[in-house]
Amino acid sequence: MRIKAKIPSLRWMSVALAGLLSLAGGCSGQKEQTSGEDHVPVIVATVARADLQRVRAYTGTVEGIRQAKVYARIPETIVKIHAVEGSTIRAGAPLIAFDESGPASAVRQARAVYEDARKTADKFDLLYQQGAVSEIERDGHKTALEVARANYEAAGDAAVLTAPISGTVTEIYARVGRQAGMGEPLALIASVDTVRLLLDVSVYESKELAKDQRVFIRSEQDTSVTAGGWVDEISSSADPGSRTVSAEILAPNPQQRFLPGMFVQATIELEQRSQVVSVGRDALVYRESGIGTYVIRDSVAHFVPVTTGVESGKLVEILSGLQAGDQVVTLGQNNLQDGSKVNPVAE
pLDDT tens string 153-173: 777 777 889 999 998 898 999
User: Do 333 and 344 form a contact (C-beta atoms < 8 A)?
Assistant: no
Q: 17 versus 231: which is more confidently predicted?
A: 231
User: What pLDDT, on the 0 to 100 scale, is given for residue 261?
Assistant: 85
Give the DSSP letter string of 222-261: -TT-EEEEEEEEE-SS--TTT-EEEEEEEEE-TT--S-TT
Q: How far apart are the C-alpha atoms of 343 and 76, rounded to whole Å? A: 83
The amino acid sitting at 346 is: A
User: What pLDDT, on the 0 to 100 scale, is given for residue 131?
Assistant: 85
Q: What is the mean pLDDT of residues 211-224?
A: 92
Least-confidence region, from 33-47, 75-89, 132-146, 278-292: 33-47
Fold of 57-61+191-273: Elongation Factor Tu (Ef-tu); domain 3 (2.40.30)
Question: What DSSP element (H or E) covers 31?
Answer: helix 2-35
The whole-chain average pLDDT of the chain stands at 84
Would you say domain 40-52+274-346 falls under CATH 2.60.40.420? Answer: no
Q: What is the mean pLDDT of residues 231-259?
A: 90
User: What pLDDT, on the 0 to 100 scale, is given for residue 37?
Assistant: 56
Q: Classify residue 281 by its DSSP letter.
A: G
Residue 114's pLDDT band (boundaries 50, 70, 90)? confident
User: Do 300 and 44 form a contact (C-beta atoms < 8 A)?
Assistant: no
Burial class (CB in 10 A: 0-12, 13-18, 19+), 301: buried
| Percentage of the chain exceeding pLDDT 70 | 88
CA atoms within 13 A on the CB side of 10: 6
User: Do 249 and 200 form a contact (C-beta atoms < 8 A)?
Assistant: no
The amino acid sitting at 253 is: N
Q: 187 versus 8: which is more confidently predicted?
A: 187
Residue 111's pLDDT band (boundaries 50, 70, 90)? confident
Q: How far apart are the C-alpha atoms of 114 and 221, rounded to whole Å? A: 54
Flag whether pLDDT at 14 surpasses 80. Answer: no
Question: What DSSP element (H or E) covers 196?
Answer: strand 185-202
| Domain locations along the chain | 40-52+274-346, 57-61+191-273, 73-183
User: What pLDDT, on the 0 to 100 scale, is given for residue 4?
Assistant: 44
Extract the runs of DSSP E, i.e. beta strands, from 5-83.
40-46, 48-71, 78-81
Distances, alpha carbon 26 to alpha carbons 30, 33, 69, 255, in Å: 6, 11, 88, 73
Q: For 30-39, how does the pLDDT look when each residue is reduced to its tens digit (9 = 90+)?
A: 433 334 457 8
Do 57-61+191-273 and 40-52+274-346 fall under one CATH topology?
A: no
Flag whether pLDDT at 137 surpasses 60. Answer: yes
Q: What is the mean pLDDT of residues 111-124?
A: 86
SS3 state at 115? helix
